[in-house]
Amino acid sequence: MTDTTSYRALKARFQPLFDQIAAGAIEREQHRELAFDAVNQLREAGFTALRVPQALGGAGVSLPVLFQLLIDLAEADSNLPQIVRAHFGFVEGRLSSRDAASQDYWFAKVVAGQLWGAAMAERSDSSTNSVSLAPNDPHNEDAGWVLNGEKYYCTGTIYADWVAAVAMHDKDFFSVVVAVDAPGVTREDDWDGFGQRLSGSGTTRFDQVAVAPEHVLRRFKPGELRAESYISSFYQLFHLATLAGIARAALRDATAFVQGRT
């Protein structure tokens, strides 16, 4: 199936849901109603598993098809692509890891409808980290870890089942994943920035949170993650798809306004 054919089929499948999401977008924004229902509908419809390979239960769509559908979703409600951005970034990271065991483990959860948020943004520069990771046994990393600290800007975590966080130990950075309902995890709906106020981008705190060895995804040096042009480009394209959807919605609304006055 070509990308064009795949997109048309998925567009027909998801458009009724996008229309339903769009119908409530203005009211949610005006009353600051978090988009839990819309997010759950996307999970149940399989939207959040679009990039998971078909062999593992997902749709296995190409990146061009994903971004076309994200433009459609952003046209319906621009908060939604921002909410799922970290989730799709997590999936993309697992795809690029080529770790079959990790893919089997995590993608089963994605296909089941579980969602990821991110706790990575810092107020300080990229060489430091406000979240620390310490081994339970300094001589045996397989004994598990403990996570402590706070991230101030955590997109999508209010809606998520899991949080992907970056922490520091012994001058190295670690990518870890913790369940949002794990003891010691606290999420705050305190994002007060201008725009996309429903994206759930508030503070996340970690207080003696246990991290299993299999939930430590990678270890890297300061600055190394930013040098990975692929995932950086992926996140930028996500933003551009959102902006394209916003532009289409603005054109749609402006046209309807003018036509109603002539």
What is the residue range of 254's domain? Answer: 3-114+228-259
89 with 14, same domain: the answer is yes
Q: H/E element holding 74?
A: helix 63-76
106 with 18, same domain: the answer is yes
pLDDT score recorded for residue 158: 94
Domain containing residue 48: CATH number = 1.10.540.10
pLDDT score recorded for residue 262: 66
Which are the contacts of 238, defined by CB distance < 8 A and separation ≥ 6?
Answer: 67, 70, 81, 85, 88, 89
93 with 12, same domain: the answer is yes
pLDDT score recorded for residue 225: 57
195 with 70, same domain: the answer is no
Q: Are 239 and 247 in contact (CB under 8 A)?
A: no
52 with 108, same domain: the answer is yes
Q: How far apart, in Å, are the Cα atoms of 129 and each of 9, 91, 149?
A: 44, 24, 9
pTM (2 decimals)?
Answer: 0.92
Q: What parts of the chain have a pLDDT lower than 50?
A: 227
pLDDT score recorded for residue 221: 75
55 with 183, same domain: the answer is no
